[in-house]
Structure 1
Amino acid sequence: MKILQKIKNMDLKRLYPILFLFLSFNFYGQSDNFKDKKEKIKAMKVAFLTTELDLTSSEAEKFWPLYNTFDDKQFELRHQKMKSYFKKMQGDNLDKISEKEASVLLDQIQDNEDDLYSLRKKFMGNLKEVLPSVKILKLKKAEEDFNRKLLQQYKDKGSK
């Protein structure tokens, strides 16, 4: 019960990545081929960001290697590491773990969130050397818009 209280007390902004993670596992879980779905989504995202950011060829040449590295590391942190944590929280597993085990699990999740924050902070610093601040803000907005669009497609597909 204390775990649920701690989760409820977390900042909502910290819960959005976790929510997105659960939704993406469900989305990917329905696929016969995870890699194909991942590549398709990545291609859609690249096309969307390219359109939204309107990068010059010089900016694009510097931006995409940074972004792809960041995106791959972020994916690893969100999906690969968190996957093991959330497996431990499925079903009635939470009712069976001790307070000590729950505390360790929360610490691992928090460490992963800290790693994600550090990764984002480093990425922003690198971006400031490549893009003007206005385009970095456009990137943030475009990523949010893309995620909303992807979730909407998922919802629409599920309602059919």
Structure 2
Amino acid sequence: MKYLLRSALLLWLLAALPASEAAAQGGLRRQERLSQLENARIAYLTEQVALTPEQAQKFWPLYNEFTAKRRELNRRLRQLRPVNTDGLSDQQIRDGLAQSFALRQQEITLEKEYFERFQRVISVRQVGRLALAERQFTKEVLKRVAGRPGMPAAADGLDD
């Protein structure tokens, strides 16, 4: 749950770059930053998980497939969250929560599936390192983003 919150917060923070900056640079600067972030994530995870070149060749396409599916589930989950429940009936709130639970269950099922698939490419110890390295990377990015002038202290209260 905390990982989901961190991931959503990270995506929100990255998407909330100042509008003037994005407009002035035509969005190129934002894309450049996202690309740099992705490259840093790949390098960090590769190092922390201690992937060999042969493992990396098989692992990264599988991991990218997994993260794309996980992002889609998180996107759908965010769309379900109402800004204000005051205008909703009890049944609408109940239905929304049920859909949210179903999506979260799908995420758990996805993680279990890919846990098995990852083990065909890397060792179980490396899979364990992967989970830890993902959390550490997200935590570090949140710390750095929160340290920027004009950005909220995003990492507060999200410690493991």
**Do they superpose with TM above 0.5?**
yes
Query: Structure 1 residues 56 and 16 mapped into 2: Cα distance closer, same or farther (>3 Å)?
Result: closer
Tell me the distance in 2 between the aligned counterparts of 1:135 and 1:64.
13
Is 1:27 aligned with 2:14? Answer: yes
Moved more, 30-39 or 69-78: 30-39
Is 1:42 aligned with 2:38? Answer: yes
Alignment of 1:112-131 (within 5 A): 112-131=103-122
- 5+ residue gaps, structure 2: 154-160
Tell me the distance in 2 between the aligned counterparts of 1:148 and 1:19.
8
2:76 — aligned with what? 81
Query: Would you say the 8 A contact 2:146–2:152 is kept in 1?
Result: yes
Q: TM-score, structure 1 length as denominator?
A: 0.78
AA of the residue aligned to 1:104: D
2:158 — aligned with what? none
Q: Which runs of 4+ in 1 moved over 2 A?
A: 29-35, 37-41
Size of the aligned set, in residue pairs, is 142
What SS does the corresponding residue of 1:149 show, helix, strand or coil? helix
Give deviations 1:53-108, integer Å, cap 9, x for gaps: 22112211111111010011111111x2123123x2x2xx2122110010111011
Tell me the distance in 1 between the aligned counterparts of 2:125 and 2:42.
19
Identity %: 23
Alignment of 1:1-160 (within 5 A): 14=1, 16-18=3-5, 20-30=7-17, 32=22, 33=27, 36=31, 37-78=33-74, 80-86=75-81, 88=82, 90=83, 93-157=84-148, 158=151
- 5+ residue gaps, structure 1: 1-13
